[in-house]
Amino acid sequence: MLGVITRVLQSISYVTSIPEPGIRLLFAILCGYLLAWFQRDFLHRKGATVKHVYFSLTGFGLAYFCYGIYVYHSLISILVNYLLLAVLGGTLPVVVVSFIFNLGYLVIAYLVVSTDDYDILWTTPQCIMCLRLIGLAFDLYDGNRPQEELSKEQSQLCIKTAPSLLQVTSYTFYFGGYFVGPQFAIRRFQDFVDEKFLANTDGKPPDTTLPALKRLFLGVVYATVHTIVGSMFTTEYLTSQEFDNSSLLYKVFFVAVWGRILIARYISVWLFAEGSCILSGLAFNGHDEYNQVKWDGVANVRLRIYETTWAWKGCIESFNINTSQWAARYIYKRLRFLGNKMYSQALTLFFLALWHGYFIGYFVCFFFEMLCVQLENHVTALVAKSPRLQNFFSHPVVRPIAFVCSRALTISVMGYAVVAFTLLRYHRFSQVYYSMYYIWHWLLFGWIPLFYFVLNPMFRKPKSNASQEPEKTTEEKKTE
């Protein structure tokens, strides 16, 4: 049977020109729907141990199908992290050791096996595990801290006791999140296994088929767009002589569309994975104001916002949501002791870049993100200081024009940043930037002195006359 599946996948790979590792990964993610259906309908009301065994064995089987013997890297990570938590408990040194071990293991793996291309290797799930296991150590640490020291979020996600080896294995190998995410805390996973997410009072399996199929359908749409349109906007063309000889306006247009289509690949696999999480019941997120069940608890992309936002910040908040939330929860907010949001943001983005890999392109891309967010913050601050600007941008004629221009700029700069994220090495992506005359570099780096030395002083609110007048003495007040 396995041989037949392998030959079929090889044939699909040959016909579609998609590398076989990618086909195997997609097959494993889609198998999650069958496994989720079986778990939801046939393991309902079974004990937690039965489910943990099921998730461990099925996840391990799919991992072995995709990565063969290299699945032992996952087993090593699971065992080391379990021993850390079981032996040493929820302490700060354990968090530090877990952080160093998991991130160090991942970076060393990148150094050993990564190439200049987009690799689909055992390092793909390893990077997912890296965050999940670091977060596990943080959650146990929070559970052993005084309650008054915890934030509301930390109180909701912390755990008091170290999970068993079977629970850690199940949490790691769960088929809906092992391969490409999403990230979720172990507290959510435990509540899911304990059937606290049934979304009904009858004790029946949750009705998740329709919302799961919706995400599956949207995933197919994005995958189709990526396959068809992506064949016309290829990465290879960026470094071709034909691209270099094109006009600047065409290059800006091509990079903007190319980046958008490339990102559709990530969106499609996230939607596929989210659908299986919904079908199994893990994605339960309470009820809305109309008492309708929400199944977006592990959503990794909010398509309506992503496809309509005019701002870079909106893209960040609607794209790769769970990773961003993880970074905010376990990195950014834990750096408050620095006393500077800019430093915290920079270190968080540095971590995310290193988590993706050691190539300079990742760091350039995330540095662009930080600059874009700062530019938007600056523009927002300037508009807030000027009633004239507020009236101008709120004008019925100006508002749609400003929206279109802002959205076009956001998409263009995002594609420009993704060039470095995709080509990775400096000599490759710098060739593209050079041919585009570093157009968006000039905007982002030129904005900094323009804002601080020209625009900000120009729009600074003048002090009111009342504040400039000397305070009257008591005798003067009596005279009045």
Domain boundary among 176, 196, 216: 196
352-364 burial, b at 16+ Cβ within 10 Å, e below that, comes to: bbbbbbebebbbb
Residue 313 reports pLDDT greater than 90: no
Instruction: Report the amino acid identity of residue 40.
Output: R
Q: Are residues 191 and 335 in the same domain?
A: no
Chain segment 341-372, per-residue pLDDT in tens: 999 999 999 999 999 999 999 999 999 999 99
> When comparing pLDDT for 461 and 92, which is higher?
92
Q: Residue 19: which H helix or E strand, with range?
A: none
Question: In 88-141, where do the E strands start and end?
Answer: none
With contact defined as beta carbons under 8 Å apart, do 139 and 186 qualify?
A: yes
Q: Which residue, of 172, 196, 220, is where some domain finishes?
A: 196
pLDDT in the model for residue 477: 45
pLDDT score of 444 more than 60? yes
Residue 322: active-site member: no
Q: Does pLDDT of 394 surpass 60?
A: yes
pLDDT surpasses 80 at 116: no
Q: Within 13 Å and on the Cβ side, how many CA atoms surround 15?
A: 7
207 lies in a domain?
Answer: no
Structure tokens at 420: 């470095």
Give bridge partners of residue 301 from the DSSP assignment: 319
The one catalytic residue in 356, 378, 395, 441 is: 356
Segment 230-256, tens digit of pLDDT: 999 999 999 999 999 999 999 999 999
pLDDT at 353: 96
Per the model's pLDDT, the better-predicted residue between 398 and 19 turns out to be: 398
Distance CA 186, CA 139 (A): 8
Within a domain: 249 = no
Looking at the fold, whether 319 and 192 belong to one and the same domain comes out as: no
How many domains in the chain? 2
Q: Which of 207, 191, 188 is nearest to 37 (CA)?
A: 207
Answer whether residue 324 is part of any domain: yes
**Residue 472 confidence (pLDDT) above 60:** no
Please indicate, yes or no, if residue 345 is contained in any of the structural domains: yes
- Has residue 383 got a pLDDT over 60? yes
Q: What is the pLDDT of residues 411-439, one digit of tens each?
A: 999 999 999 999 999 999 999 999 999 99
Per-residue pLDDT for 461 more than 70? Answer: no
Asked if residue 280 belongs to a domain, the reply is no
Domain that holds residue 180: 1-196
Question: What pLDDT is recorded for position 393?
Answer: 87
For residue 147, give both structure tokens.
Answer: 């309650």
Active-site pick, 320, 427, 441, 456:
320
The pLDDT of residue 476 is above 90 = no
The pTM of the whole model exceeds 0.95: no
pLDDT at 7: 81
Q: 235 lies in a domain?
A: no
- How confident is the model over 3-43, as pLDDT tens digits? 778 788 878 877 777 788 889 999 999 999 999 999 999 99
Which single residue is written with the structure tokens 């913050």?
Answer: 377
8 Å CB contact between 106 and 356: no
The Cα 102–Cα 108 span in angstroms is 10
User: pLDDT tier at 201 (50, 70, 90 boundaries)?
Assistant: confident
Alpha carbon distance 361, 353 (integer Å): 9
Q: How far apart are CA 343 and CA 3, in angstroms?
A: 53
Q: How confident is the model at residue 117 (pLDDT cuts 50, 70, 90)?
A: confident
Exposed/middle/buried for residue 410 (C-beta within 10 Å: 0-12, 13-18, 19+): buried
Which of 137, 171, 196 delimits the end of a domain? 196
Of 8-22, 42-56, 452-466, which range is least confident?
Answer: 452-466
Domain assignment of residue 72, yes or no:
yes
Check pLDDT > 50 for residue 479: no
Closest CA to 267 of 232, 302, 309: 302
Active site residue 52: no
Share of residues in the chain with pLDDT > 90 (%): 77
| Within a domain: 265 | no
| Mean pLDDT within 307-326 | 91
| pLDDT for residue 286 is more than 80 | yes
Residue of higher predicted confidence among 168 and 290 = 168
pLDDT at 475: 46
* Mean pLDDT (whole number) for 77-98: 96
